[in-house]
Amino acid sequence: MKKILQLILLMMVVPVAIANSHADEINAQDIPELHMLVYQGDVMMSGSFQKTSDLDGLLLEAKIGDTVVGSARIGDFLTGRFSALEIGPNVALEGSTVTFWVGDQKALETDIFGPLTVQGEYCKGCTWSLPISRSLNLHFNSVPLPTPTPAPALAEPSFITGTLIFGSILAAPEGVNIIEAYIDNELVGSGTVSGSNFSITIDPGNETYLGKKVSFKIAGYDSKTSYTFVENDFITEFKLFFPQYIPATSTPTPAPVSSPVPTATSIPEPTRTPTPVPEPTATYTATATPTPIVLSTSSNEIMTEQSDGGCNSRGGGPASVGLILLSLVPVYLLNRKKRTG
């Protein structure tokens, strides 16, 4: 039983001892240092505190002296801002002043490559346990001018002379007296041909043609041999080989056949039929018949006219009738009295 307990205790103690030994080894080892700076910040114009998009797309370079030690593209992620500008590791340059450039324009701000003290000075004995992330806004006086592309330097021409062969004939075709030189299908020289001899000056103009292949052409035939352009070269007894020259055969042009001129056919005029003109139809207008006026002599009409107060020499109209009736009242009374008596 005691042996079993001892075995259990031993099994518990051994892992703890192993773990402690590993911990001692880890503490004994130094943590690796990564001597790097990573910058990010806004880009502004001098005298402004607002970031600008005028420099978006341009390359921001960090320099120590004249050496470019890091770069980042402005506006890659946010307009008017740069990020992930990494410097290092470079132990030999630690503690040096870092300047920032966009083209030919230098930022007003600078920095120190390395850890800093509270006062902002380089801390030589400080550790670099991790890359140091640092925010830094940069001001520029103006937008940089585009870098001019330097013009290529001039190249001196070369002169070549020698002999040529067309197929199995040691001479140029009869009547052919011009040879041309080409680089990438561009004419760079012209010369003369006389029998089996030729001479040509190759002058492409600038250094960009140095080392390029020169081909030759005579009467539309390309040479099988070529030359590599070297400026100010002078070569004699240069041989050019061309394929067999086959002169072009002219095909006779047949004489034009005259076409017969068609005879003009007269077209008879159509018979003209006179168009009858209709005579105008007479129109009669009815004349109105006068209506006779009938004069009425009826006494009733006359009485009516008198009662209506028409033209009366005595005048009065209805008033005259009243006077007549009033004058007849005494007569009526006398007659009535006689009848009653």
pLDDT digits (tens, 9 = 90+) for 210-229: 999 999 999 989 999 999 99
Provide the 8-state DSSP code for 233: -
pLDDT in tens, 255-299: 677 677 777 676 777 677 767 666 666 565 555 555 554 444 444
C-alpha 183/C-alpha 226 separation (Å) is 10
The residue written with tokens 């004994």 in the block is 28
Q: What is the mean pLDDT of residues 320-338?
A: 73
Q: Are residues 136 and 166 in the same domain?
A: no
C-alpha 61/C-alpha 110 separation (Å) is 12
Distances (CA, A) of 35 to 30, 56, 79, 322: 15, 29, 29, 154
Range of the domain at 118: 37-140
Q: Which residue has the higher pLDDT, 26 or 227?
A: 227
What does DSSP say about strands 178-183 and 186-194: parallel, antiparallel, or unpaired? antiparallel
Last residue of a domain, one of 82, 107, 140: 140
Q: Are residues 182 and 227 in the same domain?
A: yes
pLDDT in tens, 137-190: 999 999 988 777 788 999 999 999 999 999 888 888 888 899 999 999 999 999
Last residue of a domain, one of 242, 271, 287: 242
pLDDT in tens, 67-108: 999 999 999 999 999 999 999 999 899 999 999 999 999 999
User: CA angle, corner 193, sides to 188 and 196, nearest 5?
Assistant: 130
Yes or no: say if 70 and 113 are a contact pair by the CB < 8 Å rule. no
The total of structural domains in the chain comes to 2
Please report the DSSP string for 189-224 in residue order.
EEEEEETTEEEEEE---BGGGTT-EEEEEETTEEPS
For the domain that residue 223 is a member of, what is the CATH number?
Answer: 2.60.40
C-alpha 204/C-alpha 186 separation (Å) is 9
pLDDT bin (cut points 50, 70, 90) of residue 31 is low
22 located within any domain: no
Provide the 8-state DSSP code for 120: S
Q: Which helix (H) or strand (E) holds 23?
A: helix 2-28
Q: Are residues 163 and 197 in the same domain?
A: yes
pLDDT of 86: 94
201 located within any domain: yes
What does DSSP say about strands 234-242 and 158-166: parallel, antiparallel, or unpaired? parallel
Q: Are residues 121 and 163 in the same domain?
A: no
41 located within any domain: yes
Provide the 8-state DSSP code for 179: E
- Give the 3-state secondary structure of residue 299: helix
